[in-house]
A and B are shown apart, each in its own frame.
Chain A
C-alpha cells in the first residue's frame, strides 16, 4: 500500500501567505525607511527663505546684488514694484553676473544675456530668469522664497512675485 502525500492544509497555506505578506510589508517599510533616511532633516546650506530687508532699502531703480554671492538672488525695484529673481541661468544652471555698465545679467558659461526684468536678450537660455515669490514678515522685511518660483516676465498679474515699494 502506498501512502499518498498529504495535501497541505488550508491552514498551512494561509500561514505561508501571511508570512509572505509580512515579508512584503517589511520590505516596503525598509524601502520607505531608506528613502526617508536619504532625505536629510537638516541641510547645511543657505536657507531657501531669507529676509532681504525692509522695502525702503530698495529705492526705485535699484538693482541689489548683495545677495547674489550667497543666495544667488537679485532684488530689483522696477517700474511696477520690487521683485526678485534667481541669478541662475535657465540654460544649464550657471550663475549669471550683473553687468553694471550695460545693466544686464550675463551668463559666463554660454553667453546668455538677461534684461533687468529677467527677459532673455540673447544666447541659448530658453526661459526668462525665475522670479522668487516675496512676502513681508512681522518686522516688515521682504522675505524671498527661492522654493516658490515662476519663469515669468510680466508680473503685474502675479501678486506674490511683486511687492509695492516706496516711491
Chain B
C-alpha cells in the first residue's frame, strides 16, 4: 500500500510562499475567519461579523456598494482610455473618433466609462435618498453624511470635468456655461455680486487657465479629471467606509 500523496491544495497551503502571504490558517474556525479579515489590507475595513439585518437587501438596496462598483468601473476604463486620449485641442476630438472607430473595443470602453459615470451620479443620489428616508444620517452618523455630501460634490465635479474632454460642441458650450457660473461667484467672480476681480484674475480664470475655454482649460480639466479629483474621491471614500464601521455598521438602529 502506497502512502497517499497530499493534495495539490494542501501542498500549496503548506508552501513557504503561500505562508509568507497568508499568515493565518484555513478559515475553518472563528479565529482564522477573523484573521482572514483583519490581516488583509483590502478587507480590514470590513467588520469581522456583520449583523444579519445589515445584509438584508431591502435595508440598503446595495446602493452604496453599487456606487463603489461603478466607481471601480470608471477607474479601470478611464485608465485604459488614457492610453489613447491626448488632451490637445488639435488631437482630442480626433482621438475620440479613433476610440470610436479604430481602437479595438475603444467604443465599448468609452461607453462603459460614460454609462458607469452617469450611473454613479444616479446611484449616489438614490443612496442619499435611502440614507435620508431610513434616518441613517442621525447621530452618531451625522458626520458621515457630511463626508457623503463631499463625495457627491466630487462625483459631480468628475462628471463636469470629464464633459469637456471630447472637445466637441456639446463639451465646449457646457463648459463655457459652467465656467461662466463660476465667474458669477460672489466677490471672487468677475461678474458676481460684490466682485473685487476682473475677467483676467477671478476664480473662472483660475479654473480655465485664461479667459476663454482653450488649450489651458482642456489641460486643467484633464488633470483635475484624471488625477486631482479621483485622489480626493478615494481619500473621501476611505474616510466614508471607515466611519460606516466606526459609527456602528450599516443600516440598523443603535
Taking residues whose C-beta sits less than 8 angstroms from the other chain, chain A's interface range is: 10 to 19
- Check: B94 CB closer than 8 A to any chain A CB: no
Residues of A within 8 A of B206 (CB): 38-39
A45 contacts B199, C-beta separation under 8 Å: no
- Check: A8 CB closer than 8 A to any chain B CB: no
Q: Would A44 and B215 be within 8 Å (CB), given that A38-B206, A39-B205, A147-B198 are in contact?
A: yes
- Check: B180 CB closer than 8 A to any chain A CB: yes
- Check: A79 CB closer than 8 A to any chain B CB: no
Residues of B within 8 A of A48 (CB): 199-200, 211
Output the nearest chain B residue to A151 by Cβ-Cβ distance.
B191
B173 contacts A43, C-beta separation under 8 Å: no
Residues of A within 8 A of B216 (CB): 40, 43-45
B199 contacts A147, C-beta separation under 8 Å: yes
Output the nearest chain A residue to B220 by Cβ-Cβ distance.
A38
Taking residues whose C-beta sits less than 8 angstroms from the other chain, chain B's interface range is: 10 to 19
- Check: B209 CB closer than 8 A to any chain A CB: yes
- Check: A94 CB closer than 8 A to any chain B CB: yes
Contact with A along B175-214 (1 / 0, CB 8 A): 0110110000000000000000011110001100111101
CA distance A44 to B216 in the complex (A): 8
Residues of A within 8 A of B199 (CB): 48, 146-147, 149
CA distance A45 to B176 in the complex (A): 15
- Our pick among A38, A40, A94 for the contact of B173 (Cβ within 8 Å) is A94
CA distance A45 to B210 in the complex (A): 8
CA distance A38 to B177 in the complex (A): 22
B209 contacts A40, C-beta separation under 8 Å: yes
CA distance A39 to B176 in the complex (A): 19
Q: Would A44 and B214 be within 8 Å (CB), given that A93-B176, A93-B180, A94-B176 are in contact?
A: yes
- Check: A46 CB closer than 8 A to any chain B CB: yes
- Check: A92 CB closer than 8 A to any chain B CB: yes
CA distance A43 to B198 in the complex (A): 16
Contacts A40-B209, A43-B210 known; list 16 others, CB within 8 Å.
Answer: A38-B209, A43-B211, A43-B216, A44-B210, A44-B215, A44-B216, A45-B212, A45-B214, A46-B212, A48-B200, A92-B176, A93-B176, A93-B177, A94-B173, A94-B177, A149-B199
